[in-house]
Structure 1
Amino acid sequence: MSLSTTDPDAGRTHGPLGRLGVFVTEHRRLVALLWVAVVVALGVFAPQVEKNLSGAGWQADGSESVAARELAREHFDGNTSSAIQVVVHSVAAPLTSGDGPRVLADVKALLEDESRISTVIDPVPGATLSQDGHTAVLIAGAGVDTNEMVRVATDVKEELADLGTASVSVNPTGASLLWSDFNDANLSAMLKSEMMSWPITLGILVLAFGALVAAGLPLILTIAGLVASAGSLVLLNEIVPISIWAMNFAMMFALALGIDYALFMVMRYRAARWGAGHSKQQSVAEMMDTAGKAVLLSGVTVLVSLSAVMLVPSPSFRSMAGGIMIAVVFILVATLTLLPLVVFGLDHRINKVALPWSRPGAVESPRFRAWGEHLWRRPVVWGLGALVLLLVLAAPVLGLKTAMPSIKVLPEDASARIGYDIVKEQFGDGAPGTLLVVADATDADATAAGLTADPGVLAAMPAMPAADGSDVVLIQAVPTVDPSDPALSATVDRLRADLPGSALVGGAAVENLDLKTQLDDSTPLVIAVVLVLGFVLLLVALQAPLISLLGTLASLLSTAAAFGVAKLVFQDGHLAGFFGFESQGFLDAWAPVFFFAMIFAIAMDYTVFLLASAKEHYERTGDPQQAMVGALASSGRVIFAAGAVMVAVFFTFAISGPIPPKEMGIVLGVAVLLDAFLVRLVLLPVALRLTGRAAWWTPAWLTRILPAITFSH
């Protein structure tokens, strides 16, 4: 018994997605009510997203430094890496005179009134009280986990700063403050970038769609997807901590994919409705069977690419990938259910407020057809030129260095950075990166001796017994170098090799080092998994091994070129003044693994659109030239417009906020620029031209294994 649904208006049998489209048109009220219910139910929680999501999680689960931190929090009143360090500094006189005693007392009282702080440790001469008496550091012990301590820092930092006077300053610092200040600066940058990008995005969409109403359709998907995903993240945060960055990235992907998918779908609907003259329902069905199938495959590819990031055992990375995946799922579902409902309801009104040259029923772009024919005639010149340019841009990546973010990611007026600089000036270069070593009490003397003897340690404090009477001790040691100095890694490696077996070396700087090591170890695996899964999905979708392989490998070129540019900008400092940042001398260590997955996901999005269109033309004609030229004619405008929107959105991040958003903006912006305009509109069509029929050849044994998927209807 056949499950096919036949549209009486056209006398055609639809595929599964076409039947879904018909179902949506026949049950519009039900689908609309379901979407309203979802958006309202999750939208209730959405406004809490910035407040509820966590600000920490940048750690390597299972590492020695995390184990040391948890032991210190449990047995030493929270005197650990997430403790808040309040720097009280007087320029004119020692803190024992003038406003000093009152400010110190007020700071201590405020900290003691905060229930999430376990204890307040007074300044200790020679350790947290400077020799001249002008600087004192009070330690607010972590009574809660790292994520909650970031919230504590956010809640108390302004009150603490207000306790300062004209002669005495109060600047809280430490890892929790760093993430609090960074999250604030990052949120401000995100909001600024969004305000800048929306007018540009809308302008490009109006040009791409040729009508104001049609240009607004992606906003429906974006808003619905964002509200639903934001509410979902708030609820999920009750089960497992979700990084605030998950929402930031989800916002970008929701906008980018919402635009991509709406462009592809609406243009196909208009072509079927006004180009081919089909009925509304038949046009929706054809849109779903062709463009909808490509969108579904694209969405699955994006999800698979991002899922590989889950292989990195770090809460922040897993929650960021998860947040984006949730947004992608909602955007995908909205595209395949809400968008058909909207275009069916609007129909001819989609073309309202149209530009004079708008051709809503156009199936193909004459300009991109002409471009395709030109590429067909001169493939070697254009293909070789694009390849050489990409390789030249990629060459600097061979000298790329990575490290965890330094204090330079914060604005110079951020409390954490001011306090950091004061501690460094008063107590030594390594003081902001104090090591926390937890060891068995029986190994206390040997651990202290090992720390004192190491050339990378400036000074070690006396062993501190556990506050709860446990048989462990805590020894704090000041390194000789700044926390971002590569020499610190060598010191930590020596200590871990030479200290007694019970000694666990930790501290905020060491947690960064352990996370970088984990990222370096995970990156090759993530890249390999992404490439293999991407190839498999393309193979299933296209049923053609050669072009699936070429489409997958082509993504590496734009990715490598983007990181080559990033090396020149962020590591070497070229254009640092233009973009308004101070070079750290390296690229942040989380960029390669996370940005690779994001770039590959976006690149495969374009790849699916182009090659699905090429496969559709090849299925209809059996002609490689028609496949290549027809694919550019029908999908080139979508890829060009979507790429232009993404580049505009990403580059707005490059000119606002701290370094990490700038890295994101430049790396992703350059990657999309190169991938959309060089790889997908030049290199991949040239590959189709040069491989000819071989591009679509499939061995018989593989045909029997793969599911039957076609794009022509």
Structure 2
Amino acid sequence: MATFLYRLGRSAFRRRRLVALIWVALLALAGAGAASAPVATSSSFSIPGTEAQKAFDLLEERFPSAGADGATARVVFKAPDGQKMTDPAHKAAVGKAVGELKSGSDQVADVTDPYTVQAVSRDGSTAYVQVSYKVNGMELTDATREALKETGEEARAGGLTVEIGGDALQTVPETGAGEIVGVVVAGIVLVVTFGSLVAAGLPLLTAIIGVGIGVSTITALASVLDLGSTTSTLAMMIGLAVGIDYALFIVSRYRAELAEGREREEAAGRAVGTAGSAVVFAGLTVVIALVGLAVVNIPMLTKMGFAAAGTVLIAVLIALTLIPALLGFAGKRVVGRKARKAAEAAEAAEAAGGAPAGARPNLGTRWARFVLRRPVAVLLVGVIGLGTIAVPAASLEMGLPDDGAQPTSTTQRRAYDLLSDGFGPGSNGPLMVVVDGDKAAADRTVTDIKGLEGVAAVTPPTPNEAGDTSIITVVPKDRPSSVETEDLVHSIRDTTGDDVLVTGATAMNIDFSQKMNDALLPYLALVVGLAFVLLMVVFRSVLVPLKAALGFLLSVVAALGAVVAVFQWGWLGSLFGVEQTGPIMSMMPIFMVGVVFGLAMDYEVFLVTRMREAYVHGERPGEAIVTGFRHGARVVTAAAVIMIAVFAGFIGSSEQMVKMIGFGLAVAVFFDAFVVRMAIVPAVLALLGRRAWWLPRRLDRVLPNVDVEGEGLREEPAAGEPEDGERELVRA
């Protein structure tokens, strides 16, 4: 592989104009497709194999209107203190609002009258109007939303308290300026790392091009493939982080090759042949983790994983081709002025007969030697520290957010609270019970459900035209995300027969959470197993991949503990903009496991391949650890800081899921890069010694030799030089 990538890097360097033109053309083509594509909407949400989904499918067949995936709004009215919504003036105001809602937009499907559907609280203080739309929330026009808001404003002018809940006011999530700040921080870190604006600009430029192509392609295909509005946000988050990091490693290796006196084209080829090999395998681990989300069998999550994986593949291809092409354009400016002067001074001293300067100990070297002197202490501090942070993960509660998780400043949250006060907490998440049978079966079901604990109200059955299916609405006593409501759903399913199905948003959330829990262990086994084999191929070792997997599990559990502490318990919540605590989103753990595993293996591959390279070239195990840190610690540190900055930038998102994932990934990268890879890994390798690189002979014969260390490049003649004049590959 190293030889192939070496030739690819040199070819891209020589044909830099063609390579750059191809990538610019791809960016323009993807941008044109995105500009002409329909606006992305919320993807259809389905959970194959669950009872809630079976009920929805049955409704679509026999109750087309009830099964429609349209947006809804609840306009909640509350009378002033001492008054009731049944007062004539207030009834007239509500009647006027109902009429305006019906005529306000042609996207409205139905509007209920609270005085005819018993939507007035027992004390008469609160009433609500249910508005159903023909399209989902993301497809509602601005005029429709404005009509809804104006109706509420007019009713408020008459002295009523009016709040609007539901998903009709849902908009595309805003990420604010956070991701821009993340890119700025990345730029600063790159300038400090390289000491050159040109070298710092290359990773940023190529990452933006890669993300531009990936996100534009997702946008162009969103309508055709039913991709949700958050898919592009997550693809941008991951693509930007890995794109900068992959380019950073290749540019860094290129500068090291130049420092050893190689010609620019030769340096580009060797940088791609060595660091590029690590990029390929690091990218493969990320892709495996993201594509592996398909085992959960939830279409929305599968599409998110494939979209993000596609963006990662683009980042890998750009690092292998566009980076060497741009290095050809950059010339000597890729090396900072200070570094150029130092190199010229060293060459002059060597020409004058002086000895070449040896490698100076840097911070990475000093840290590696410190760990080698105290491996047991470093290992214990790292493991105990992360284990302590992981403790809150034992209290993890999962669910999907409803309006009760919104900030109290939003009208959706205030509408939620008004409904809870007037009708009980369960009114915000009624259960829809579908009976596949005649009226007698439906009546028996109503009787059975009324006898269950936790039921606040049960409506009479509503049959379809054929009379073979009925809908029953059950209002729980407790809020939708409570354990009591979950127990009620299970009680209804256990008490009634197979011809009775429980669905609705609340039941769907419960089934979704259960499916995510059931899929977590199989997903972990698949992803860790495949990556373990991949890392065995890379490192020619059994213990190094095992150590990498165990270190990942430690960092991801610690990150989950931090997420629980902030988003569920509320610790330091105000610092991260968490206005309302609640259960952790069901997809958060498995999604974070997938993404963090891929990213964690990035640092494992980049850092440990330098150690492996030094070891196979004759250094003792301890010396190889120091060499790996001398050449890789600064770059890995910069890459981790950049990735943390990019992820942390998404904490400012208005979308709770994006905010939570941004925080979780930023914390996980911090733990994995600075505690696991920088402390625990060298401590374990120091304790293992030569045993770390042990591989059974049978496996050694079976596993392919991909030559990540670039051993084959020792025999590649440099451009313009005879083969016997080839310099030895420098382990820079």
Instruction: Provide the TM-score with structure 1 as the length reference.
Output: 0.90
Give the secondary-structure state (helix, strand or coil) at the position aligned to 1:44.
helix
2: CA distance, partners of 1:153 / 1:489? 35
Are the equivalent residues in 2 in contact too, given 1:21–1:285 (CA < 8 A)? yes
2: CA distance, partners of 1:197 / 1:155? 35
Identity %: 31
Partner of 1:9: none
Partner of 2:485: 488
Deviates more, 1:499-508 or 1:407-416: 407-416
Aligned residue among 328, 333, 339 for 2:312? 328
Are the equivalent residues in 2 in contact too, given 1:451–1:495 (CA < 8 A)? yes
Give, as a single letter, the amino acid of the residue that structure 1 aligns with 2:377.
V
Partner of 2:380: 384
**Does residue 568 in structure 1 map to residue 560 in structure 2?**
no
Cα distance per residue 1:321-378 (max 9 Å; x no partner): 1221111011111111111100122121223677999989998872212222222222
Partner of 1:413: 409
Give the secondary-structure state (helix, strand or coil) at the position aligned to 2:419.
helix
**1:595: how far off?**
0.7
Cα distance per residue 1:438-485 (max 9 Å; x no partner): 11342211122122222222111121122x546211111211111111
Partner of 1:232: 217
Give, as a single letter, the amino acid of the residue that structure 1 aligns with 2:33.
F
Give the secondary-structure state (helix, strand or coil) at the position aligned to 1:52.
coil
Give the secondary-structure state (helix, strand or coil) at the position aligned to 1:94.
coil
Partner of 1:11: none
Give, as a single letter, the amino acid of the residue that structure 2 aligns with 1:506.
T
2: CA distance, partners of 1:640 / 1:475? 58
Deviates more, 1:17-26 or 1:485-494: 17-26
- Rate the CA distance shift 1:621–1:264 in 2: closer, same or farther, 3 A: same
1: CA distance, partners of 2:463 / 2:342? 77
1: CA distance, partners of 2:688 / 2:143? 62
Partner of 1:317: 301
**Does residue 305 in structure 1 map to residue 289 in structure 2?**
yes
Partner of 1:558: 555
Aligned residue among 608, 611, 614 for 2:611? 614
2: CA distance, partners of 1:614 / 1:375? 15
2: CA distance, partners of 1:278 / 1:398? 54
Deviates more, 1:470-479 or 1:350-359: 350-359
Give the secondary-structure state (helix, strand or coil) at the position aligned to 1:54.
coil
Are the equivalent residues in 1 in contact too, given 2:10–2:265 (CA < 8 A)? yes
- Rate the CA distance shift 1:662–1:32 in 2: closer, same or farther, 3 A: closer
**1:658: how far off?**
5.5
**Does residue 216 in structure 1 map to residue 201 in structure 2?**
yes
- Rate the CA distance shift 1:204–1:64 in 2: closer, same or farther, 3 A: same
Supply the RMSD in Å over aligned alpha carbons. 2.7
**1:82: how far off?**
5.1
1: CA distance, partners of 2:342 / 2:236? 30
2: CA distance, partners of 1:209 / 1:46? 35
Partner of 1:8: none
1: CA distance, partners of 2:193 / 2:593? 28
**Does residue 268 in structure 1 map to residue 253 in structure 2?**
yes
- Rate the CA distance shift 1:313–1:35 in 2: closer, same or farther, 3 A: same
Are the equivalent residues in 2 in contact too, given 1:78–1:143 (CA < 8 A)? no
Are the equivalent residues in 1 in contact too, given 2:74–2:128 (CA < 8 A)? yes
Aligned residue among 83, 91, 99 for 2:79? 91
**1:679: how far off?**
1.1
- Rate the CA distance shift 1:439–1:703 in 2: closer, same or farther, 3 A: same
Partner of 1:128: 119
Give, as a single letter, the amino acid of the residue that structure 1 aligns with 2:368.
G
Are the equivalent residues in 2 in contact too, given 1:301–1:601 (CA < 8 A)? yes
Give the secondary-structure state (helix, strand or coil) at the position aligned to 2:634.
helix
Larger Rg computed on CA atoms: 2
**Does residue 78 in structure 1 map to residue 70 in structure 2?**
no
Cα distance per residue 1:601-622 (max 9 Å; x no partner): 1111100101111111112124
Unpaired stretches in structure 2, ≥5 consecutive residues: 347-357, 714-732
Partner of 1:403: 399
- Rate the CA distance shift 1:231–1:661 in 2: closer, same or farther, 3 A: closer
1: CA distance, partners of 2:127 / 2:443? 28
Are the equivalent residues in 1 in contact too, given 2:405–2:413 (CA < 8 A)? no
Partner of 1:547: 544
1: CA distance, partners of 2:575 / 2:209? 36
Partner of 1:477: 474
Give the secondary-structure state (helix, strand or coil) at the position aligned to 2:435.
strand
Cα distance per residue 1:577-619 (max 9 Å; x no partner): 3334245353222221111111111111100101111111112
**Does residue 62 in structure 1 map to residue 49 in structure 2?**
yes
Are the equivalent residues in 1 in contact too, given 2:611–2:624 (CA < 8 A)? yes
Cα distance per residue 1:93-123 (max 9 Å; x no partner): 6375353322220012125x11xx5444443
Are the equivalent residues in 2 in contact too, given 1:394–1:564 (CA < 8 A)? yes
Q: 5 Å matches for 1:171-210?
A: 171-174=163-166, 176-177=167-168, 181=170, 184=172, 187-188=173-174, 190-210=175-195
- Rate the CA distance shift 1:690–1:55 in 2: closer, same or farther, 3 A: same
**Does residue 253 in structure 1 map to residue 246 in structure 2?**
no
Cα distance per residue 1:619-647 (max 9 Å; x no partner): 21242123211111111111111111222
Give, as a single letter, the amino acid of the residue that structure 2 aligns with 1:217.
L
- Rate the CA distance shift 1:100–1:395 in 2: closer, same or farther, 3 A: closer
Give, as a single letter, the amino acid of the residue that structure 1 aligns with 2:364.
F
Partner of 2:367: 371
Partner of 1:20: 8
Partner of 1:598: 595
Give the secondary-structure state (helix, strand or coil) at the position aligned to 1:43.
helix
Give the secondary-structure state (helix, strand or coil) at the position aligned to 1:584.
coil
**Does residue 241 in structure 1 map to residue 226 in structure 2?**
yes
**1:709: how far off?**
2.0
**1:72: how far off?**
3.3
2: CA distance, partners of 1:463 / 1:198? 56
- Rate the CA distance shift 1:555–1:367 in 2: closer, same or farther, 3 A: same
Give the secondary-structure state (helix, strand or coil) at the position aligned to 1:500.
coil
1: CA distance, partners of 2:42 / 2:338? 45
2: CA distance, partners of 1:333 / 1:364? 34
Are the equivalent residues in 2 in contact too, given 1:86–1:170 (CA < 8 A)? no
Give the secondary-structure state (helix, strand or coil) at the position aligned to 1:438.
strand
Cα distance per residue 1:102-147 (max 9 Å; x no partner): 2220012125x11xx5444443546334456664444444645xxx
Deviates more, 1:208-217 or 1:372-381: 372-381
Partner of 1:7: none
Partner of 1:451: 449
Aligned residue among 684, 688, 701 for 1:687? 684
Partner of 2:272: 288
Are the equivalent residues in 1 in contact too, given 2:250–2:275 (CA < 8 A)? yes
1: CA distance, partners of 2:143 / 2:445? 37
Are the equivalent residues in 1 in contact too, given 2:14–2:325 (CA < 8 A)? no
Q: 5 Å matches for 1:340-359?
A: 340-351=324-335
Are the equivalent residues in 2 in contact too, given 1:281–1:344 (CA < 8 A)? yes
